[in-house]
Amino acid sequence: DYVPNGYHPAYIGEVLTNDQNNISYTLIRKLGWGHFSTVWLARAKKIEIKNSEVQSNDLKYVAVKIVRSAKHYTETSIDEIKLLKKVKNFNTNNNNNIGQHNVIKLLDDFTINGPNGNHIVMIFEILGENLLSLIKKFKHNGIPTILVKQIAKQILFALDFLHRNCGIIHTDLKPENILLKINNTNVLKLIDLISNKKNLLKILRFYQDFLSDISISRKKINNNNNNNNNSPNKILHSDNFLSSLSLMTISNNIVNNSNFPTPPSSGSNHDTDLPDQKINNNNQLNDRLYNDSNLINAKIADLGNACWIDKHFTNDIQTRQYRAPEIIMGGSWGCSADVWSFACLIFELLTGDYLFEPIEGHSYSRDDDHLAQIVELLSCPNPHEDHDLVNLVNGCSKSSSFFNDNYHLQNLSSLRFWDLKRVLKEKYKFSELESRQISDFLLPMLNLNPKKRADAGGMINHPWLEDTFGMENVFNQERKLYNSGLDMPGWCSEVFHYTLY
Ligand code: ADP
Ligand code: MG
């Protein structure tokens, strides 16, 4: 793929410069890559000429996304930049835009010319781990509720902001596309040092100090488990354990992926996973985290598939497990499709499992299985009771290949109905109360009928989120709990002749 029209053959130490504003970016290390691009950690510098001398001032660490050069990728990223600029430039004097801070921020953009052609470069604030790696850190046992509530409330604000203020639909909400902000700049310093092998000794010292920090945290956690001690001890360091997790991943990554020798740690365990335990119904752990964790910061990233409420680029949207039923059935769609994905995402954070994980069978397709799983959880449309839903199903271009005349699935017969509250209680061992609260929270966002689906802004006011750590009593006065977003343009279908911009 590093060929003409492909990825730019970037290398550590390469300097990319935006000639318009004289800011240069020195690449330090690859952070990740996707279908469209490679993403690098870089040091930003402002080049200034003072008294006819060139001076360069360090600005900060940033993430540099270098897009593949083929026409299709260039065009898509021009759209992505327009969407990102809408997010960034939304009038900040307005105090209804808390959610703006929970969407990734574009800092700069320009084009470079390389051996494989012209590449669009986007500069972002640097973020850390995505939620998928957090799910894995907790060994698919579920992330503690205290953290899930923080993530949920922030992402709801972000969605409400995208939908109502920007007229943007993300269309690919999933754990990989939500990144946590690294508050600990040491992570970045470490990586920066490592890019220069001359600093080997310094790095080893740094790394070792860090490991001992982690093992102290681990010991404290373990002791606390054994003592059954309820005192609000400072179990985790002030810089909080999420930063530590981020740092640990990145450092492990570096050790595994380079010739860099493993530091001579005194048998300390590199594994930062929390002690084995069933976390979901462990209120003690929640309490401890409540007392000790700082407010985490979750941001929606990758607007590479996003679109406008009045300009959908494709109907082929959303990653399978997070795909809304109207998309599967070929119906019209809008902002409400993001809310469906959001509910699937929150279930996954709480339990470590997908809410829907459809597979293809001998006599049925993956879409058939997907709709069957949805119906098993939420029950079949009843043609005698819900005319609205029946009309909606009839209006979808592919619905006759799934449903028969009685609105039963035609390719799958023996369905096993198991409602959400019981799933949470019986399979995931949440308490009766928690199971009820969580299903009360999720079900309005999983309404089969997008017209009736609850909107993100209103769900911020849900009682389950009332005690969200650091965001207690933060509400959204503009939206009402459980109301659908039907009053919003583009809620369940594309808007034509709309002039918001
Ligand atoms: P693509 O459009 O090519 O899929 P993404 O925007 O999804 O590109 O970025 C690819 C990967 O790069 C992400 O999965 C993530 O691991 C990493 N990444 C992207 N943006 C950032 C950022 N701001 N900070 C840190 N890592 C990032
Ligand atoms: Mg991506």
**Residue 405 predicted with pLDDT over 80:** yes
Q: Which atom of ligand 1 is nearest to the CA of 128?
A: 25
Instruction: Report yes or no: 128 and 187 within 8 Å, Cβ to Cβ.
Output: yes
Given the DSSP bridges, would you call strands 53-67 and 168-169 parallel, antiparallel or unpaired? unpaired
**Residue 269 predicted with pLDDT over 60:** no
Tokens of 165: 């203020």
- Give 339's pLDDT tier (boundaries 50, 70, 90): very high
Considering 252-261, 358-367, 401-410, the range whose residues carry the highest mean pLDDT is: 358-367
Span 186-220, pLDDT tens digits: 556 655 665 555 555 565 565 555 555 555 555 55
Ligand 1: centre distance to CA 32 (Å): 6
Considering 59-68, 154-163, 221-230, 488-497, the range whose residues carry the highest mean pLDDT is: 154-163
Ligand 1: centre distance to CA 430 (Å): 34
Instruction: Report yes or no: 485 and 326 within 8 Å, Cβ to Cβ.
Output: no
Three-state DSSP class for 362? coil
Q: Which of 160, 172, 302, 367 is catalytic?
A: 172
CA 386-389-391 angle, to 5 degrees, is 110
Nearest ligand to the C-alpha atom of residue 303:
1
What mean pLDDT is reported for the chain?
Answer: 81
For 200, phi then psi, to 5°, come to -50, -45
Span 278-325, pLDDT tens digits: 333 333 333 333 333 347 789 999 999 999 999 999 999 999 999 999
Burial of 436 (0-12, 13-18, 19+ CB in 10 A): middle
Nearest ligand to the C-alpha atom of residue 105:
1
| % the chain with pLDDT above 70 | 75
Which whole-number Å values give the CA distances from 429 to 94, 134, 273, 274, in the listed order? 43, 21, 21, 19
**Residue 350 predicted with pLDDT over 90:** yes
pTM listed for this prediction: 0.81
As for ligand 1, residues whose beta carbon falls within 6 Å of it are 31-37, 39, 63, 65, 104, 124, 126-127, 176, 301-302, 304
Ion ligand 2 neighbours, Cβ < 5 Å: 34, 302
Which is higher by pLDDT, 276 or 173? 173
Q: Please state, as a whole number, how many other Cβ atoms lie within 10 Å of the Cβ of residue 71.
A: 9
Span 164-181, pLDDT tens digits: 999 999 999 999 999 988
For the ranges 149-163, 231-245, 440-454, which has the lowest average pLDDT?
231-245
Ligand 2: centre distance to CA 128 (Å): 14
172 is annotated as an active-site residue? yes
Q: Which atom of ligand 1 is nearest to the CA of 67?
A: 3
Q: Report the pLDDT value the prediction gives residue 283, as an integer from 0 to 100.
A: 37
Strands, E assignment, 71-116: 106-114
For the ranges 199-203, 277-281, 427-431, 495-499, which has the lowest average pLDDT?
277-281
488: left (phi > 0), else alpha (psi -120 to 50), else beta?
beta
Distance CA 1, CA 68 (A): 9
Nearest ligand to the C-alpha atom of residue 35:
1
Mean pLDDT of 8-37: 92
